[in-house]
Amino acid sequence: MEHRHDEDRPVRARTAEVRGWLAPGLLVVTAVTLAAGGVAWLSGAPEVADAWWAAGTAAAIVPSLAWVIAALRSHRAGVDLIAVLALAGTLATGEYLAGALIALMLATGRWLDSAAERRASHDLRHLLEHAPRSARRRSGGQVLTVPLAEVRVGDLLVVGPGEVVPVDGRIEDAAAVLDESVLSGESAQLERSVGEPVRSGCVNAGGAFGLRATATEQDSTYAEIVRLARQAGAESAPVVRLADRYAAWFLPLSLAVAGLAWLVSGSAVRAVAVLVVATPCPLLLAAPVAIVSGLSRAAREGVVVRDGAALETLGRARTMVLDKTGTLTTGRPRVIDVVAAPGRTPADVLALAASVDRFSPHVLAEAIVNEARIRGLALTPVRDVSEEPGRGATARTASGTAGVGRHDGSPLPGWAGAADNRAALDGAAVAWVTLNGTLIGAVLLRDPLRHDAPRTLRRLREAGIDRLLMLTGDRTEPAAEVAAVLGLDGVRARQSPADKVAAVRAERGNAVTVMVGDGVNDAPALAAADVGVAMGARGSSASSEAADVVLTTDRVGRLADAAVIAVRARRIAVQSALGGMAMSLAAMLAAAFGLLPPAAGALLQEGIDVAVILNALRALRPDRAAQPVVEPATEQLLRRFAAEHDDLRDVVEAVREAADRLTDAPGPQALETVRTVDGLLARRLLPHELDEEQQLYPALAAALGGPEATATMSRAHSEIHRLARRIDTHLRIADTNDGRLRPEQIDDLRACLYGLHSVLRLHFAQEEESYFSLAR
């Protein structure tokens, strides 16, 4: 069977080649004959002119018949039959100029359709052409070029400047600068350090680097995207089938109007005029052009849609079901607080925990080590590292035996009980840190909400999604908190894969339903939905294979982009089909009453077809009203301040730590902690807030509609500065009292610290959701 398939390829290639030159060839022939006839007529030779125009008309009949037969073979209405009848009618009635105009119209429409589809599918073709086919593998002291299929997990590859990363892997020996625009749609170049993962399909925008393969060709990111792109097409979209259904009644209606016009008036010319303006071949192809344009637009945004049917169905969806972990949250635990025992500092606790955990493969250990790296903490040398599954890791340090993991169940001291209570309220996991068997601190970790999740859900509602439901296998408390923050319409916790499938099927009974997920456990629910959407950047291959839509970048905001594009493409497709046919029907009535002669009707129909196809191509352009567009310089500012937020998280938590110390024992140690916080505020936090006010907010005003859009955030800046000044004033008062707090100061200072902590957390969250999520 494979051999026969290979033999068929030259035949298909020749057929495609013929189709490629047929439309422009026919356009040239019809244009030349029309122009030659015009020259002859102007020269006073009407017989010669008629001969040229008749020749052009006859030249168009043969391909028109072929198109009619091809349409009938594919079980589509043969609307080109109207064109054939119109061409034959003009020859029979001697309306040669009208026939030549119809022939030119038909050729122009076919050429516009083919050109439009070529342009609309350009991005999908680029995706396929970009696929790597070989890799350079280091073996011993040699670097050999091998077929991509021969690359195995663990192979050391060399990626040169300008080359495409061939398979998924980890950077081995030098930092890399990568262009991920093909995968994510984002043009910014990103720097990856040694040990960081890299997805296939990225382009090396820097110097050569080594890549340790972590997947084969077939299991890599780009191969999956290419497989999905090869399935992309518009032929099965329901809106395209709708156009075919229109054609099924449009054909007999056109013939009936033409017959009645002839019967009532006794003029065959009127019947021919009706058929001339009823030639809707390019018109009915405008719907596929709009759908393919939508597919192309989605591909530019890092969204791969399997076919036009999925895009059109997504445009009709009214219910969306979302997984929590990895979809609405980042899917990667993050340190939210470090609590230290009296006499210890959070930095000491975190550094010790990271020193023990840096050799552990556990996901919580990775988060602890990453947090220590972000804070620039020096790790302690350790030895004799061991790990007990479900309990944690231990290691020998210069200070004794350190441990990180679960608590042994003994009674907790007061500070630890408060940390444990906070973890329960926040839905966080706790990694307890011990030294020589004594608790010295706790690291609280939680899977945080994606910064762009709230904006994404607001945009989804604007795109027509009426119901948002979250399904998760997580516990009820963290699930309820996420649902409350995002304003979801419903939430179901502790859901098994079977429960998710049942919930999706129940929702499908009420409305067109979309399911969004990223894990293997989401695959059955994705397949059960009307449209399944997979977070493909870090999600499982099983979920991607079960999905109809794959987001190739790790941003849930692309989900809203896909929905907006789908709604717009479907609306434009319907506009193109119905609007064009309405104009054709009006022209048919005018022709039936003798108000529109064949030649004028042909020119009018030409204009209708061109207008409809150009309207369909609007689906290629972004919808500027759907999302505020920021300038590149502003986007750089957004990225800068987002990075500063990550860097300032330890300052925010230090404010809370100082308030807790002041509550436990308002003595010299607590006062010293407050002085440390005051220094952090003056050196790091307040300059950040001032820079935002003076640099970021004015830059955002243009994109958000004016300075009023940032007024509430500016008010938060004022409150932050007010509380910081009040804390500093308390310290100056203490300095006048021999460095001791007066009793009447304690309550107000504690309130200032807790209040500042709350304002900072809310302010950071609002900026990240409303502003930083605008960065593409």
Q: Catalytic residues, which ones?
A: 323
Helices then strands, counting H and E runs in the chain, come out as 27, 22
CB-based contacts of 238: which residues, under 8 Å, 6+ apart? 309, 312, 313
* Measured distance CA(740)–CA(734) in Å, rounded: 5
Do 33 and 100 form a contact (C-beta atoms < 8 A)? Answer: yes
SS (H, E, C) 575-618: HHHHHHHHHHHHHHHHHHCCCCCHHHHHHHHHHHHHHHHHHHHH
Sign for the pseudo-dihedral over CA of 365, 370, 372, 377: positive
Strands 467-471 vs 319-323: parallel, antiparallel or unpaired: parallel
Quickly count: other Cβ atoms within 10 Å of residue 70's Cβ: 12
* Measured distance CA(448)–CA(497) in Å, rounded: 23
**How far is the CA of 119 from the CAs of 141, 291, 336, 562, 771, in angstroms?**
46, 13, 48, 20, 34
* Measured distance CA(534)–CA(516) in Å, rounded: 6
CB-based contacts of 476: which residues, under 8 Å, 6+ apart? 493, 494
User: Coil, strand, or helix at residue 316?
Assistant: helix
Do 523 and 548 form a contact (C-beta atoms < 8 A)? Answer: no
- For the chain, the maximum distance between any two Cα atoms, rounded to a whole number of angstroms, is 116
Q: Which long-range contacts (CB under 8 A, 24 or more apart) does 715-723 make?
A: 716/759, 716/762, 716/763, 716/766, 717/689, 717/690, 717/692, 717/693, 717/763, 719/759, 720/685, 720/686, 720/689, 720/756, 720/759, 720/760, 720/763, 721/686, 721/689, 723/752, 723/755, 723/756, 723/759
280: its two tokens? 């809707």
Q: Within 13 A of 772's CA, how many CA atoms are on the CB side?
A: 21
CA 204 to chain centre: 22
Strands 438-446 vs 467-471: parallel, antiparallel or unpaired: unpaired
Residue with tokens 């439901």: 469
* Measured distance CA(512)–CA(531) in Å, rounded: 8
Do 336 and 444 form a contact (C-beta atoms < 8 A)? Answer: yes
* Measured distance CA(334)–CA(363) in Å, rounded: 10
Residue 561: is it exposed, middle or buried by C-beta count within 10 angstroms (0-12/13-18/19+)? buried
Quickly count: other Cβ atoms within 10 Å of residue 644's Cβ: 15
DSSP structure class, residue 571: H
Residue with tokens 């073996």: 139
CA 328 to chain centre: 13
* Measured distance CA(436)–CA(448) in Å, rounded: 32
**How far is the CA of 28 from the CAs of 53, 68, 279, 460, 601, in angstroms?**
14, 21, 20, 47, 22
Residue 92: is it exposed, middle or buried by C-beta count within 10 angstroms (0-12/13-18/19+)? exposed
